[in-house]
Structure 1
Amino acid sequence: MKKSLIAATAAALLATGCATPFAPAPLATNFQSGKQPKLQAAAHWHTIAGDVAAKLSAAIPANTPLFVNQQANASTFERAFTSQLVTALIEAGHPVMRSPEGALRVGVDTQAVPFAADRPQYRHAGKATALGAGIWVLYDIVEYASNGPAKAALLALGAADAYAWFDSEFAGGGTPAMEIIVTTSVTDASRYVARNTSVYYVDDADQRLYKTPVQSHAKAFQVVGGE
C-alpha cells in the first residue's frame, strides 16, 4: 500500500511538472520560434534597402525632398546600404537632394552585436515529416512523366531531393555569432518623421564588412603587470 502511494505521488509530480511554485529568480524560457534573415550577399543589402525605402515612404508625404546623410567613418555595409537607399528612395518617387537645405534628413545607424558562438539551431521538429510531405508535393512535377522505369526514376529522385527542396529556406551552418541592428530615421530640425528598425544575422566569415574601420583595426593588448 505504501509503495503504491509513493508511486502515485511520483506520478502526480511528473504530471504537474517539475518546477516548484516559488523560485529566487524567473525561469528562463525560449521565445516562440521565429525567422530572421541572414545577410550573405550585396544583393541582400539591395533588397533590404528597397524594403526600408518602401516602409519609410508610407510615412512621408509624397514629393517631400530628402537628404541621405552618409557617415564619414562608415563600414563597407553602411556605405553600400546608404547608396542603395538613395537609389531605392528615388525609385519610390522621392526627390533626393545633394545638400540638406530644405530637405528632411535620412540617417542610417547600424550596430553590430556579437553573441556567443555555437548557439543551438533547431530547424525542424521532425525532418522525416518534411521529407514525406516533399514526396507528395514533388509528385505533381512528375505526374505527367511516361509510365514505367522513367517515371519510377523521377519519383525516386523527387524523394531524394524533397528534404533539400523544403530545407532550402534555412541558411546553412549554425546560428551566426553576430547580428546587426539597422535603424533608418527621417528627421526634421526637431522631431522624428519616420523610423524603421530591423535586425539581421551576419555570416560569421563576413563580420569585417559590418564593422567600421576603427573597429576593424582595433587590437587588444594584454598588460603584464608589475606592482
Structure 2
Amino acid sequence: MVTKTAAILISGALLAGCAGRQIPQTPYSPVPVANNFPTSNQYTLQATAHWAAIAQHIEQGLAADLKKSPTRPFFIAEPPPQASPFQRALSAQLVSALVRDGHVVSRTPAGSFKIDIDVQALTFAPGRTQYRYPGEPTAIAAGVLALTAIKPVAGVIAGVAAYDAYQYQHAKFDAGATPQTELLVTVSVSDQYRYYARNSSAYYVADSDRTLYGIPPEAPPESKLLKTFQVKGDR
C-alpha cells in the first residue's frame, strides 16, 4: 500500500512539474513532423475582371524584371486550340496591357522577346481546413474602439457603426468552403538563347467555374455508384 501511494505521489509531482512547461518533442522520429506554413493570403478568381487584374500584374512584373535587359518587342503566340477560356483570355488581356503601357508587341517572333504563359489547374481534396477569422468577437470590439472618435449620440448609431466595421473586415475573406481548385500561372520571357524573366503565381478558383480553367466537371455522385459489366454468352 505504501509503495502504491508513493508511486501516485511521484506521478503527481512529475505532472505538476510538467504543467508549467511544455513537454519537448521526442528527439528522434522516423519521418519529419508535419508543420503548417505561416498564414498567407491567396486570391480567388471569380470574374473576368480578376483575369484582367492578373494580366496587369504580369505586365508590371515583366516591366520591372526587364529593366536591365536589351529593349526588344514582345511576342505572344496564339494559344493552342485546346487552351482553356481562361488561358485564351489571359493571353489577349496581356497583349492589351502591354500595348496600353507603351510596349511594342510584335506579330512575329523574329527579334522579339517571346512570352510563354503556362497555366496548370490543380484539384485538391475537398473539405480543406480554413481559419479565416482570428476571432469574431475581437473584430466587433475592435470596430467599436476604432469608431469611438465619432462620438455617437445614440447607442443604436454605435451598434450600426460597429456592425459596418465588422462587415468591412470580413468582406476581405472569400465566403464558403476552401476551393478545391487552384491555378498555377507561370510566365516566362526568353529568346533562343536564354530566359530573361520568369515568375509563378497561385490562385484559388471557384469550384463551380472549373470548366473555364480546363478542368472537366465532376461526375454526379449517383453516377459513381454505377458500374458496367460485360456479359459473355456461353459458346
Structure-1-length-normalised TM-score? 0.85
- Between the aligned partners of 1:62 and 1:189, the Cα distance in structure 2 is 14
2:88 counterpart of 1:79: yes
CA RMSD of aligned residues (A): 2.6
Residue 111 of structure 1 and its aligned partner are, at CA, apart by 0.3
- Between the aligned partners of 2:13 and 2:218, the Cα distance in structure 1 is 62
Which of 124, 148, 156 is equivalent to 1:153? Answer: 156
Which of 154, 157, 173 is equivalent to 2:176? Answer: 173
- The total of aligned residue pairs comes to 218
Greater radius of gyration (CA):
2
Which of 109, 113, 138 is equivalent to 1:104? Answer: 113
**Which string of whole-angstrom CA distances, capped at 9 and with x for unpartnered residues, describes residues 14-42 of structure 1?**
53336322221111111111111111111
Q: 1:200 is matched with which residue?
A: 203
One-letter amino acid of the structure 2 residue matched with residue 103 of structure 1: S
Q: 2:78 is matched with which residue?
A: 70
- Between the aligned partners of 1:103 and 1:218, the Cα distance in structure 2 is 41
Q: 1:4 is matched with which residue?
A: 9
Residue 217 of structure 1 and its aligned partner are, at CA, apart by 8.2
Structure-2-length-normalised TM-score? 0.83
One-letter amino acid of the structure 2 residue matched with residue 187 of structure 1: S
Percent identity between the two aligned chains: 37
Q: 2:25 is matched with which residue?
A: 19
Runs of 5+ in structure 2 lacking a partner?
1-5
Q: 2:60 is matched with which residue?
A: 54
2:188 counterpart of 1:185: yes
**Which string of whole-angstrom CA distances, capped at 9 and with x for unpartnered residues, describes residues 46-68 of structure 1?**
11111111111112247420101
Q: Secondary structure at the match of 1:197?
A: strand
Q: Secondary structure at the match of 1:99?
A: coil
- Between the aligned partners of 2:26 and 2:230, the Cα distance in structure 1 is 48
**Which string of whole-angstrom CA distances, capped at 9 and with x for unpartnered residues, describes residues 89-137 of structure 1?**
1123210011112211111000001101110101123211111111222
**Which string of whole-angstrom CA distances, capped at 9 and with x for unpartnered residues, describes residues 162-215 of structure 1?**
32111111111111101100001111012111112100011111111111xxx5
